[in-house]
Amino acid sequence: MTQALIVIDVQNDFCPGGALAVEEGDRIVPGINALMDEFGAVILTQDWHPAGHSSFASSHEGKAPFDMIEMPYGPQALWPDHCVQGSDGAAFHPDLRTDRADMILRKGYRAGIDSYSAFFENDHRTPTGLHGYLQERGITDLTMVGLATDFCVSYSALDGAKLGYDVVVREGLCQAINLDGSLEAAIDGMKDAGVRIA
């Protein structure tokens, strides 16, 4: 068993009605559930921010959601408050098969740095621990699905490819935010890095 399914951030706040809703974000849940049976290892990631997180626009006076600021680790988009630890918004979509998860990886819990990727915080250096877990289990091939294609999915796919995994993104089981052409840029970037888009 060398293949794992990585299900990224299928949480209430990223689904319709949520604080940072991705259009039709819940559409992908049945397909993801069905795909789980094809994999011996299933890993779920969960955005898990403390209240007042530095990526929240509300933490920066005069700033609005989707503004860009410069952080010590580089440029950072500001977001509406979302996926606050213990909140209903941070919970997985109620229809997602969480019972199939071998591992649930929480990310973005450090107050001063955001974390899009399942592998690293946004400084691209601080590890989440996922790489070590996959290595321990001898997993070499990753299939990624979830939310959102142009942020957490693409960051995770790029880092996975950089770490030497064979990475496939199932585009039909992802949904994008698509801020100012971010989806096209993300797809091009993933292809350039050797990620296969299925």
Q: Catalytic site residues?
A: 9, 107, 152
Residue 18 burial class via C-beta count within 10 angstroms: exposed 0-12, middle 13-18, buried 19 and up: buried
The b/e string for 66-92 (b: 16+ C-beta within 10 A; e otherwise) is eeeeeeeeeebbbbebbbbeebebbeb
Contact, 68 vs 77, CB < 8 A? yes
Sign of the torsion angle spanned by Cα atoms 117, 120, 125, 126:
positive
Sign of the torsion angle spanned by Cα atoms 183, 168, 43, 138:
negative
- As a residue count, the chain comes to 198
User: How is residue 96 written in tokens?
Assistant: 């997602």
